[in-house]
Amino acid sequence: MKIQPDNQKFTNLYRRFLYRVAGGVILLLTTTGRKSDREHTVGVQYELINGRYYGGATDGSRADWLKNIQANPYVSVQAGKTRFRAKAEVVTDPAETARFLDYRLRKQPLLLRKTLRTAGLKGKLDQAAWKSMQRRSGW
């Protein structure tokens, strides 16, 4: 079962008060729709690594926000109280993606395990599993 939150409601709640409790795990990402040319805001799990923000797309290459970034990389971000504009880039290197997932597993083991199990990953969670899932899902 996949839970799809109402992005507008979540965005409003995040901006009002959720940023205080969820700001270290979830950021708001605003992209420009590749078809509509309208702004779309979604909550994305992220990690701040060496001063760079990395977001994870549970749906892999099927995530609409990821497709929007591929069409127009200019985004707005709110992570906790911090707000900024940026030019996003999609990580396509499987080794870099595997390092990111390893980092997330060490830092947020319960959250990442639940997310990956929901996405269909079974068995041991390690670099071999990441690479296998990347090949299968187009991550």
Of the ranges 5-14, 61-70, 111-120, the best mean pLDDT one:
61-70
Q: Minimum mean pLDDT among 15-19, 72-76, 108-112: which range?
A: 108-112
- 1 pLDDT higher than 80: no
- Select 1-90's CATH number: 3.10.450.230, 3.30.1310.10, 2.30.110.10, 1.10.10.10: 2.30.110.10
The pLDDT, as a whole number, for residue 87 is 98
The pLDDT, as a whole number, for residue 2 is 47
Q: In the chain, which residues fall in CATH 2.30.110.10?
A: 1-90
Which residue from 58, 59, 61, 42 is spatially nearest to 115, judged by alpha carbons?
58
pLDDT in tens, 42-60: 999 899 999 999 998 877 7
d(CA 128, CA 57): 19
pLDDT in tens, 90-106: 998 888 887 888 888 88
Which residue from 11, 18, 10, 100 is spatially nearest to 54, judged by alpha carbons?
100
- In this structure, are residues 92 and 57 in contact, taking their beta carbons and an 8 Å threshold? no
| DSSP symbol at 63 | -
